[in-house]
Amino acid sequence: MKIMVTGGTGYIGSHTAIELIQAGHEVEILDNLFNSKESVLDKIAEIAGTRPVFYNCDLLDYAKVLEIFQNGKYDVVLHFAGLKAVGESVEQPVRYYENNITGTVNLLKAMQETGVSKIIFSSSATVYGDAGAILSEDSETGHGITNPYGQTKFMIEQILRDICVADSTFSATVLRYFNPVGNHPSGLIGEDPNGRPNNLMPIVMKVATGEIPELSIFGNDYPTEDGTCKRDYIHVVDLAKGHLAALEHMKPGFVPYNLGTGKATSVIEMVKAFEEAAGRPLPHKFAERRAGDLPELCANPAKAEKELGWKAEFTVADAMRDTLKFLGKE
């Protein structure tokens, strides 16, 4: 298939592009390089053998997006492009709504205009808001979302539902990621955000390299075994393979899947796993709770296993090993 990957030079998009190319698909990438580097394309080529055609394009530039789609004749779109920093979205809501919502609407318009009726969308466990600690696809969405970033994911899901109502041939597969971690085992590509990171693993990486003196663990008085928050950390290569499985099983309608492992790990356990893999301590301290954090979030991944035949295979220890390999190659 000929596949347009928006946000394909980013962290999850680049790992997915590799899996798609290795499975024999033709991949083109559109990205404005806001949070990624063009050199990732060479790394994709080194690993997968083909350098994807690249368009340096902002989804907000509708005329350019339309032109790319008119020339591209894509079978399907994998839509990763978006801004994703939760805290920043609270400070800059208009920017987040414009980039994520208007950008997606532009993409959907270009798809409609050029007869592309299949999209796989990068959603997030954040759409479940405060629905509970263990989440299935039929858990409630949209209630208790605490930030504009999460709202954009929920709103885009709603837009996709509406399109599927209007057009019974349209396929919208929505992948709700839990916490992506790790890197490609080659060590050639990995999570490499521009600017100061917000998520746990990019911060752990910067502590490991000495760029940040120590990790602040946000809260150790949560109702969990060791008092720190628990999350479902999924290796990014498992996540990427989940997209391939989803692509192979696409069907008309709005179809959500959780992509997670079904196992929750605490922040302290993550620190220990890193220390074990690295063979040295990771400087850390306990700090105040971070606003909006829930004690525990974990996927029930049964639907993806049953319908897609996909299951996460890597462990947190694998993710730490690959992270160290990526750091060594930097």
| Residue 185 CA neighbour count, 13 Å, CB half | 9
Give the Cα separation of 17 and 11 in Å (integer).
Answer: 10
- Identify which of residues 83 and 273 has a Cβ nearer to ligand NAD in the complex: 83
| Residue 207, token pair as written in the block | 């502590």
Cα separation of the two ends of the chain: 33
CA distance linking residue 184 with residue 202, whole number of Å: 15
Q: Rule CB under 6 A: which of 218-257 touch ligand UFG?
A: 218, 229, 231
What would the DSSP string read from start to end of 303-320?
HIIIII-------HHHHH
Taking residue 132's Cβ as centre, other Cβ atoms within 10 Å add up to 14
Amino acid at 13: G
Closer residue to ligand UFG, CB minimum distance, 2 or 196: 196
* Residue 222 annotated among the catalytic residues of the structure: no
Nearer residue to ligand UFG within complex by CB, 267 or 308:
267
What is the closest distance, in whole angstroms, from the C-beta atom of residue 245 to ligand NAD in the complex?
17
| Spatial CB neighbours of 129, under 8 Å, sequence gap ≥ 6 | 140, 141, 142, 143, 144, 145, 146, 150
124 near ligand UFG (CB under 6 A) = yes
- 298 touches 134 (CB < 8 A): yes
* Binding residue (CB under 6 A) for ligand UFG from 129, 150, 190, 256: 150
CB atoms within 10 A of CB 277: 18
205 binds ligand UFG (CB under 6 A): no
Tell me how far, at minimum, the Cβ of 186 lies from ligand NAD, in Å. Answer: 18
Question: Cβ closer to ligand NAD: 83 or 320?
Answer: 83
By CB under 6 A, residue 200 contacts ligand UFG: yes
* Smallest gap from residue 18 Cβ to ligand UFG (A): 22
CB closer to ligand NAD out of 59 and 215: 59
Among 55, 149, 177, 257, the one annotated catalytic: 149
User: Which amino acids are annotated catalytic?
Assistant: 149
- Which spans of this chain sit near ligand NAD (rule: CB under 6 A)? 7, 9-13, 31-36, 58-60, 80-84, 99, 103, 122, 124, 177, 179-180, 199
- Which spans of this chain sit near ligand UFG (rule: CB under 6 A)? 84, 86, 124-126, 150, 179, 198-200, 203, 215-218, 229, 231, 267, 290, 293, 297
